[in-house]
Structure 1
């Protein structure tokens, strides 16, 4: 970072702190503190303040579909950003809907380097997923996880379980009706819970009769995005310093696919972009019906310098195979 930008930021925030808007859950605060630490390393002495918020989605005890979808995790924070009550917003990209445009005058200026995207099965005693008894209840509110689990173990039941990761783990420990939870491994790490009994599910798709339960990640899994007002030049330049270019390319490919599929919060859609050892950009996408009994999948490679085109190609392939019909059925 140049001395000129450091001085510009210090001048811009000489009389007040740079304010970071975040959800108030322990995991969200961990992420926001990470962003604050990164800013302090680049601009020593800059006053940075966290502004925690409890969103309507955090308060809602029922299905997110009934509330209007994932956008309720972000809309209050977006409102604070556009009204200049905060200067940047920190989001889990998997919680940023693909069918709702960003507020006018805002943009994601940085994506932090992607963390582990594996899903895990968490149990009280380490029982493997394959050994859970028929009819066992798995706690998950994710339609993507429900559909994929049902592909391999249709004999298991899933029930929604809301709340932050800490509260869901507490429910697993306290309520014996749950045999297991499906959670993100990165989330366990952020709350120092990797000492729990968990089984890592592979990312790569396997046929239902393979005996291997796969879990293709959500679009944006493991990525923290940092949003700001585009008119705040010094802040946007700061975020550019924090940005991880490869992750930004992966997110653009995934979210282009998601946007063109026109999925909604109740659509079981999975997508994962990565860079291959020979430098190509890889994008894998899947769309399921509600119970995972039907699905379409596509895996294509493209130019790492043009991730949007790859996202468009994968979306077109999925739509050609009937993804739109599967998505329409989940709206009923």
Structure 2
């Protein structure tokens, strides 16, 4: 029985956002099985330590590998990941699986304007205004709609980026995730919400995944109590798409699946050049029991429209 074992060790990145997600999982486990002791184990990852281009470390997987290693070797029992950081082009570490996806949070991106700025929204900002973002996806889509802006990379935890925005005055605004700001209780800094139709979310945006060793069947059964079936279906469609595209790390790819009013799955996929000058776009629909087929179909359509060349840096 789980109650007879030592505390479940929940592995997480050490950023404030990641620790908030780990505490959320910890609280849900307590509600599902109050007699199961837990503890959070913070793990510093190479992605958190590196402030340069993630591509030089092998991509966004740099946020996972130290945690995955601890999970596989038994140093932790559970790994908590933001699914947008989990690469979609390769298998999970052998002997592990995502036993639960928590219900999806807000996927929208938002604009955070520096304190003291004369502007209240991006529409007011003149040509050449400097905007900061950590994501190629956001940069590409911003420049697609506003090619006159100057968009630069800014790394670090969300709270650190907002502090730098106000202190350094290097940027007029940042583009961040709405759910992340809410988890950090910083939603008061939101100046403008960007509709998903204007800025397609990252694959896995707003979803927290809970990973464990498949051999730990009792724990896997407990974690399944936390699993949201609708989110799992959407994740299957979204994560199949970059796998079909053979996504490389930090590729300018966006994808979002949702269930329509008539019960169908709708998947939007987009691939961009880094400056947003060229892109491939596909949106398809499928029955709710066919998420993998939908993801594969959207990937095939994107490839037909030139996505491979865009990802490889050779757009036609």
TM-score clears 0.5: yes
Unaligned stretches of 5+ in structure 1?
Answer: 1-7, 205-213
Q: Please state if 1:183 is matched with 2:173.
A: no
Distance 1:253 1:190 in 2: 26
Instruction: Quote how far apart the aligned CAs of 1:237 are.
Output: 0.6
Counterparts in 2 of 1:1-332, with a 5 A limit? 8-11=1-4, 13=5, 16-124=6-114, 125=117, 127-204=120-197, 214-329=198-313
Deviations 1:146-182 (A, max 9, x none): 1000111111111111111010000101011111001
SS of 2:188's partner is: coil
Instruction: Tell me the number of residue pairs that the alignment of Structure 1 and Structure 2 aligns.
Output: 312
Instruction: Quote how far apart the aligned CAs of 1:26 are.
Output: 0.8
Distance 1:54 1:190 in 2: 20
SS of 2:120's partner is: coil
Distance 2:53 2:134 in 1: 8
Tell me if structure 2 keeps the 8 A contact 1:145–1:215: yes
Instruction: Quote how far apart the aligned CAs of 1:239 are.
Output: 1.4
Unaligned stretches of 5+ in structure 2?
Answer: none
Deviations 1:202-234 (A, max 9, x none): 111xxxxxxxxx110000000000000000000
Distance 2:274 2:299 in 1: 19
Distance 1:80 1:291 in 2: 37
SS of 1:155's partner is: coil
Change (3 A) 1:20 1:330: farther
